[in-house]
Chains A and B, each alone.
Chain A
């Protein structure tokens, strides 16, 4: 079954703890993305990666870190430096080389920091 998986669906952490959100895809896509969504708001880009071992900051990268050691995986770490980490986090992937490069999304992880 092809697609993008994110785990876990719900995550709770105490304030001051780092937490890593998983994103895996088996679509053989080169590009992967992390977005954040707050209630009633649109998506904001955190980080993106167009190829293995390379990634760039998006609009709201402060307090987050990523790695891209494998084509299939793009984990996101929410650090204690992120002031308002409670949000719905969405991972996406795309072919990366097409002019009409459609992004496909995973089911999301809802992070709550207590």
Chain B
């Protein structure tokens, strides 16, 4: 699986947009980009995933560069409850892939 690189930590002011970058320069054509987050002492929460087009849902937007080597997760109006570790994961697009490989992620701290 392709590896991902994320900043260790980021800060964001409440009410502002939080933009979390992820580098996945070795991604291959059959690999999806997934984002999860984990609030302290809770299970990971699925946020969004995409292949090559930008995606948006009720939680966030995912912007994938044209060459697919990086992506940005956008939380449009961050709240204190968005403070969590955010994981960017690359997964092959196959039925046989069963494992999610979580790296260290980015600790996003939303400040009042």
Please, could you name 21 A-B residue pairs with CB atoms under 8 Å apart, sorted by A? A4-B43, A6-B43, A33-B98, A42-B104, A45-B98, A48-B98, A59-B99, A90-B43, A90-B44, A92-B100, A99-B93, A100-B49, A100-B93, A101-B97, A102-B46, A103-B46, A103-B100, A104-B46, A105-B44, A105-B46, A108-B41
Give the size of the chain A interface in residues (CB under 8 angstroms): 30
- CB contacts under 8 Å to B, within A16-50, are 31, 33, 35, 40-43, 45, 48, 50
Q: How large is the interface on B (under 10, 10 to 19, 20 to 34, 35 or more residues)?
A: 20 to 34
Question: Does A106 reach chain B (CB closer than 8 Å)?
Answer: yes
Question: Does B53 reach chain A (CB closer than 8 Å)?
Answer: no
Question: Does B25 reach chain A (CB closer than 8 Å)?
Answer: no
Quick one: closest B residue to A4, CB to CB? B43
